[in-house]
A and B are shown apart, each in its own frame.
Chain A
């Protein structure tokens, strides 16, 4: 599966991380996944700095971004991604518990590619994560400079 795009998951809740990874594993989508636990780490990863200074300078094929995060929240991360020349083309999907219209409006205004509310029902959740994984890591052609090799 070397044509999988790399998925960056920004999620502070370990249970949500585990459930998301379980859903991705079920469909063999988990081998190109990077998990960071707050907004600061997400930006460090994207900028290849701090603990990620040594990583190859490719952008992920998609960022799955939670909104409520410690230190720097998801909307700020999104804003920084969109205002950085090198990163602004990275597809970003907000994956959140928030049903609030305000969050959705702000996310779209900041240029998010998709807004997904995590379903309470586990089957629906697994399904949503699977669909996201398949679409962004396999079907979608990410912009140049992304960590996805052609099949």
Chain B
């Protein structure tokens, strides 16, 4: 096309009308100019074609990228939808769990109360005509229903920790431990308990939940040192990390075998028989659940008959005014 155009223009501008086919020597420079033009035009044409190819390639590439992007967007949308569905399912199962807890709380307790109540009434009305064995059976019914009541209450309290909203703020563990120890020593009056209480940090957490931890650990320590003539219970803190406090409660009581250490924190898991030490086996599970909600860790060390130490880590209040401001 370019060559043709050049030829035509060359003909038009430079050539005499072609009457004859004779080529004179004068025409040679014109002819050379014509060739040069043709070469230049051809070069540009090729150059242009290359650019066009490049452009086409880029366009195709963009097209592919666009498709890829669209596919990804579809993926994201699909995943989002799935996530939404999962969230809805989770919410539904949470609601179900809540109504389950509610019906445990209300419907299971009623027949239990009746069993206990009527057994008591029966004992009162008929115990004179019952023999020793029958009276023991009666007593067992009453005690068992009481125990089941305790188990239900503990389980409900445990499930409430997962559902309740945590009110986070600075908590002075010193003050909390003082309150709990005062209560515990009142309840254990008549026993010889040596309390060693070290300096404790101000932690960041939910006050009532942290108090629950200390109540559980300290009452455990009091319970499992019952057979000691002189019980020693130590509460202190190891400052392992700048932003984290590790608090421990140590006793010289019954202790436990380290090979069962992982079972200690299970719900209703007990390492002692009920007649040795009373309890439902939910105390340490509750402790673990609260600590995990606070982003901490809990562990226990001990040896049979050589006491136990339960330690837990909690976020410390480092920058007190700043954090308080943020909480408020």
Contact = CB atoms under 8 A, between A and B. Distances in A.
Interface in A1-22: 13, 15-16, 19, 22
A22 B146 CA distance: 20
B112 interface: yes
Best-buried of B101, B116, B118 by chain A (most CB within 10 Å)? B116
Nearest to B104: A99
Interface string B131-174: 00000000000100110010001001000100000000000000
B146 A68 contact: no
A99 B120 contact: no
Best-buried of B107, B116, B117, B156 by chain A (most CB within 10 Å)? B117
Contacts of A22: 121
Given A16-B114, A19-B114, A122 B120 contact: yes
B211 to A, nearest CB: 17
Contact of A120 (B102, B112, B118): B112
A15 B105 contact: no
B293 interface: no
B146 A121 contact: yes
Interface in B93-126: 101-102, 105-107, 109-110, 112-114, 116-121
A125 B113 contact: yes
A97 B149 CA distance: 11
A9 to B, nearest CB: 15
Contacts of A68: 106-107
A101 B112 CA distance: 21
Q: Decide if the interface of chain A is mainly helix, strand, loop or mixed.
A: loop
B148 to A, nearest CB: 8
Interface string B268-311: 00000000000000000000000000000000000000000000
A13 B112 CA distance: 13
Interface string A97-128: 11111000000000000000011111101000
A120 B105 contact: no
A99 B105 contact: yes
A122 B106 contact: no
Given A15-B114, A19-B114, A98 B120 contact: no
A97 B102 CA distance: 10
B113 A99 contact: no
Contact of A98 (B106, B116, B118, B146): B106
Contact of A97 (B101, B106, B119, B120): B106
A125 B113 CA distance: 9
B105 to A, nearest CB: 5
A146 interface: no
B106 A121 contact: no
Contacts of A123: 120
A122 B115 CA distance: 9
B117 A125 contact: yes
Contacts of A100: 101-102, 105-106
A149 to B, nearest CB: 32
Given A22-B121, A99-B153, A99-B156, A120 B116 contact: yes
A96 interface: yes
A111 B273 CA distance: 46
Interface in B46-100: none
A68 B103 CA distance: 10
A122 B102 contact: no
Contacts of A125: 113, 117
8 contacts: A19-B117, A19-B121, A68-B107, A99-B153, A118-B109, A120-B145, A121-B146, A121-B149
Interface of A: 13, 15-16, 19, 22, 67-68, 96-101, 118-123, 125
Given A97-B110, A119-B113, A122-B113, 16 more contacts: A13-B114, A16-B113, A19-B117, A68-B106, A68-B107, A96-B106, A97-B106, A97-B107, A97-B109, A97-B113, A120-B116, A120-B146, A121-B116, A121-B146, A122-B120, A122-B121
Q: Which 5 pairs, one residue from A and one from B, show the smallest C-beta to C-beta distance? A: A120-B149, A122-B120, A122-B117, A15-B114, A97-B109
